[in-house]
Amino acid sequence: MATKIDDDMIEYVSILAKLELEGEARAQARSDMEKMIEFADMLNEIDTEDTDPAVQVIDMENVFRDDTVTNGDNREDMLANAPAKKNGQYMVPRTF
Amino acid sequence: MKNYETVIGLEVHVELATKTKIFCGCSTSFGGDPNTHTCPVCTGMPGSLPVLNKKVVDHAIAVGLAANCEINRSCRFDRKNYFYPDNPQDYQISQLYEPICQNGHVDIDVDGKRKSIRIHEIHMEEDAGKLIHDEAENMSLVDYNRAGVPLIEIVSEPDMRSAEEVIAYLQKLRTIIRYLGASDCKLQEGSMRADVNLSVREAGTEKLGTRTEMKNLNSFKAIARAISNERQRQIDIIEAGGRVIQETRRWDDTKEESFSMRSKEDAQDYRYFPDPDLPGIFISREWIDEIKASEPEFKDEKKRRYVSQYGIPEEDADIITDSKHMADIFEETARLCGQPKKAANWLMVDTIRILKELSKEPEDITFAPENLAKLIKLTEAGTINSSVAKEVFEKVFADNIDPEKYVKENGLAQENDESALREAVQKVIDDNPKSVADYRGGKEKAIGFLVGQTMKAMQGKANPGIVTGLLKELL
Ligand SMILES: [Zn+2]
């Protein structure tokens, strides 16, 4: 069954994702979201009545590191990915 | 006006004293230039994989045991999703569904009464980065050095009823955690942070009122002020016929008021789900036993022992054992000089006074017990008098000097030789006929002045007992 994304939901998701969706972009987002949910809805076709929830597909536990510093100063490499930077810091839209 | 009861629960974040971050090998040390302690893991680069620091689990288990919690034999991490630039992964790795510790309690003493504060749970999580505002650019700048630093969050039940109880609870947690060496728990520096959940209800009623969560509390005093202010704010709303709104508020300690942090932009829906990158944790009985076996002697036990073993007053023992560091200094000093009461006195009086003057904590003491022990021995042997001892102690405290060497090098040894002192005393008697006449005329107090004059003549190094004896003899 196709899921409808109503205006309230679009508004709510855009607040959470800090996106401003207007006009064409809003219509596009609505259609994309509906398609995504429809895709995920396929899972509902499977009977999981007797299946335990799986948190992970890898069968491991207790994978630890020792508390030893292994990383040096990688600042230049790290900041190479930043669209904007200043004084060794990432520059982002004003938050407060 | 009706009688209201304040109901308080606390969420306490504690930064763990590990060398590296929770999921990567980046250093947690303070003071590095921005972003010099970062890597693809703690900045949330695609494809990077977190690997848990075992020490974090050790600390969490130790704190849980000390707070009488059940340790969950199996636990795991969950992702708490939110978008904010201090959080580079767009989710914080935390624990919601299976926290490491649950159902504990710590006991607090307020007004001579013991009360148990229940702990709902303790979970492990990672800290966020730091944002600063750049006026020139009208942008925000982000430093991820703190992102991924390990935290535990200790969530209490709403069992506290006053600011005094809240502070006693925080002090208790702080003492336990410092004794364990799991964190330095400094409120001012943010290595211990307390969020206060507070509601009020009519005294005698059971149903909890609507609560608010108060953030940005950086000292015990700020916590006390915020509690009294928020209690009154909620009572005023209710008395005016209004309803308290459940929200997060930010305390401004200089303005002494709080502000709502609610806004459209703060809408939250964390959509927690188990983190598929991190395998589950199984905590064996052996692991728990091993941590239990390495537990230190905690404050309450140590305090009782000091009173019985060293015969020092309970109040002194209480203050000394507030800090494990100070307690260690006390015991080592007492062992070295064999004078526990003297050792306690130097810590209780002079050390605490100097710490207060410098706005420091007992954890900041840097002098060696050997040097305090030597100072006590020098005083007991009569090598230096008490005023010189105080002067030397200032040096011990500040520079950890060796008192024996210092006294020798600076010629501070007390003059105990009667014949040498006799000369000085005679001179003072000759120079001060009026005081001598006063004393002989029955003014006993005049001898104090003469002792003082002799001490002065001897640059403070005379043995005051011998001087007094000589004066009485010669007069
Ligand atoms: Zn890192």
* Separation in Å, CA of B7 to nearest CA in chain A: 31
- Could you tell me if B172 and B185 are in contact, meaning their C-beta atoms sit under 8 angstroms apart? no
ipTM of the complex: 0.87
B300-339 b/e (C-beta count within 10 Å ≥ 16 → b): eebbeebbeebebeeebbebbbbbbbbbebbbbbbebbeb
Task: Point out the residue among B138, B264, B281 whose CB comes nearest to the CB of A15.
Answer: B264
pLDDT digits (tens, 9 = 90+) for A2-11: 678 898 899 8
Enumerate the domain spans of chain A: 7-44
User: Would an 8 Å CB–CB cutoff place A35 in contact with chain B?
Assistant: no
Q: Is the pLDDT of residue B263 over 70?
A: no
Residues in chain A: 96
* Coil vs helix vs strand at A41: helix
Asked if B317 and B306 touch (Cβ cutoff 8 Å), the reply is: yes
Check whether A18 has a pLDDT greater than 90: no
Q: Which residues of B touch A70 (CB under 8 A)?
A: 20, 25
CA of B146 from ligand 1 middle (Å) equals: 9
A91 in contact with B, Cβ within 8 Å: yes
CB nearest to A78's CB, from B43, B53, B274: B43
pLDDT tens, B142-181?
Answer: 999 999 999 999 999 999 999 999 999 999 999 999 999 9
Judged by CB atoms closer than 8 Å, whether chains meet at B139 and A78 is answered as no
Report strand pairing: B52-53 vs A64-65: parallel
Which among A56, A92, A93 has CB closest to B279? A56
**pLDDT at B468 exceeding the cut of 60:** yes
Give me the mean pLDDT over the B240-255 stretch. Answer: 95
pLDDT at residue number B26: 97
Average pLDDT (B333-359) is 95
Alpha carbon distance B17, B14 (integer Å):
9
Number of H helices, E strands in chain A: 3, 3
CA nearest to B28 within chain A: A69
Q: For residue B279, what is the nearest residue in chain A, using CA coordinates?
A: A61
Question: The tokens of B120 are what?
Answer: 């709902």
Interface A:B, Cβ pairs < 8 A: 136
- Would you say the C-alpha torsion B137, B140, B146, B147 has a positive or negative sign? negative
Is B465 in the A-facing interface, judged by CB distances under 8 Å? no
Taking the centre of ligand 1 as the mean of its atom positions, its distance from the CA of residue B175, in whole angstroms, is 30
With a cut of 90, say whether residue B417 has pLDDT above it: no
**Mean pLDDT estimate for chain B:** 93
**Res. B382 pLDDT band, cuts 50 70 90:** confident
pLDDT value, residue A2: 60
Is B282 in CB contact (< 8 Å) with chain A?
A: yes
pLDDT value, residue B266: 63
**Is the CB of B85 less than 8 angstroms away from the CB of A90?**
yes
d(CA B330, CA B294): 22
The torsion angles phi and psi of B256, rounded to 5 degrees, stand at 55, 45
> Is it the case that residue B325 has pLDDT exceeding 80?
yes
Instruction: Measure B284 CA to ligand 1 centroid, in angstroms.
Output: 28
What pLDDT does B387 receive?
A: 86
Flag whether pLDDT at B1 surpasses 80: no
More confident residue, B101 or B382: B101
Of A61, A79, A95, the CB nearest to B279: A61
Q: How many CA atoms lie within 13 A of B261 on its CB side?
A: 15
Segment B59-64 shows an average pLDDT of 98
The Å distance, Cα B139 to ligand 1 centre, comes to 25
Q: How many angstroms separate the CA of residue B178 from the nearest CA in chain A?
A: 19
Q: How confident is the model at residue A95 (pLDDT cuts 50, 70, 90)?
A: confident
What average pLDDT does range A60-78 have in this prediction? 94
Cβ separation A69–B25 shorter than 8 A: yes
pLDDT at position B383, please? 87
Report residue B265's pLDDT band, with 50, 70 and 90 as the boundaries. low
Search chain A and give the residue with CA nearest B139. A94
CB contact under 8 A, A64 and B131: no
**Distance from the alpha carbon of residue B129 to the mean position of ligand 1, in angstroms:** 12
Q: Compare CB distances from A92 to B24, B25, B142 and report the shortest one's residue.
A: B142
pLDDT in tens, A25-54: 999 999 999 999 999 999 899 998 898 888
Buried b (16+ CB within 10 A) or exposed e, A15-40: bbeeeebeeeebeebbeeeeeeeeee
Are the beta carbons of B395 and B401 closer than 8 angstroms? yes
Do A64 and B54 count as a contact with CB atoms less than 8 A apart? yes
Distance from CA of A80 to the nearest CA of B (A): 12
What is the structure's pLDDT at B458? Answer: 80
Q: How far apart are CA B41 and CA B48, in angstroms?
A: 5
* Residues facing B150 on adjacent strands: B126
Are B311 and B81 contacting, i.e. CB atoms less than 8 angstroms apart? no
pLDDT by residue (tens digit) across B233-245?
999 999 999 999 9
Confidence of residue B114 (pLDDT cuts 50, 70, 90): very high
Tell me, yes or no, if B349 comes closer than 8 A to chain A by beta carbon: no
What are the chain B neighbours of A88 within 8 Å (beta carbons)? Answer: 33-36, 143
Cα B414 to Cα B342, B393, B448, B450, distances in angstroms: 19, 16, 19, 18
Which range, of A23-32, B213-222, B466-475, averages the lowest pLDDT? B466-475
The pLDDT of residue B412 is 81
CB B238 within 8 A of CB B200: yes
In chain B, list all ranges with CATH 1.10.10.410: 418-474
- Cα separation of B85 and B452, whole Å? 68
Q: Of B215-224, B367-376, B433-442, where does mean pLDDT reach its minimum?
A: B433-442
Query: Which residue did the predictor score with more confidence, A94 or B257?
Result: B257
Instruction: Give the pair of three-digit tokens for residue A74.
Output: 């990688």
Higher pLDDT: A17 or B35? It is B35
Q: Which CATH number fits domain B418-474: 3.10.20.30, 3.40.50.720, 1.10.10.410, 1.20.1740.10?
A: 1.10.10.410
- Report the b/e string of B95-111 with b at 16+ CB within 10 A: bbebbbbbebbbebebe
Q: In the prediction, which pLDDT does B351 show?
A: 96
List residues bridging with B117 in a β-sheet.
B106
pLDDT of residue B264: 59
| Subunit contact B141:A90, Cβ cutoff 8 A | yes
| Shortest Cα distance, chain B CAs vs residue A35, angstroms | 20
Average pLDDT over residues B259-281: 84
Euclidean distance between the first and the last CA atom of chain A, given in angstroms as a whole number: 42
For residue B217, pLDDT over 90 is answered with: yes
What is the dihedral angle through the alpha carbons of B336, B339, B341, B345, rounded to the nearest 10 degrees? -60
In terms of C-beta density within 10 A (0-12 exposed, 13-18 middle, 19 or more buried), how is residue B11 classed?
Answer: middle
Predicted confidence band at B428 (pLDDT cuts at 50, 70, 90)? confident
Spell out a b/e string for B246-268, using b for 16 or more CB atoms within 10 Å of the CB, else e: eebbebebeeeebeeeeeeeeee
Q: Which of residues 128-187 of B touch A (CB under 8 A)?
A: 131-134, 137-144
Location of structure tokens 């004293």: B17
DSSP sequence for B322-347: TSHHHHHHHHHHHHHHS-HHHHHHII
Contact A71 B39 (CB under 8 A): yes
Which of A95, A20, A79, A82 shows the shortest CA–CA distance to B137? Answer: A95
Interface-testing mutation among A12, A59, A69, with chain B (most B C-beta atoms within 10 A): A69
Interface subset of B 4-43, CB within 8 angstroms of A: 18-20, 24-27, 32-40, 43
**What type of residue is B454?**
T
CA B157 → CA B132, B160, B202, B280, distances in Å? 34, 8, 19, 27
Best mutation target, A19, A61, A70, A75, to test chain B (most B CBs within 10 A): A75
Environment class of B363 (CB within 10 Å of its CB; exposed 0-12, middle 13-18, buried 19+):
middle
Q: With contact defined as beta carbons under 8 Å apart, do B453 and B428 qualify? A: yes
Q: Which chain A residue's Cα is nearest to B32?
A: A73
Binning pLDDT at 50, 70 and 90, where does residue B11 land?
A: very high
Q: Which chain B residue has the Cα nearest residue A20?
A: B265
pLDDT beyond 80 at B379: yes
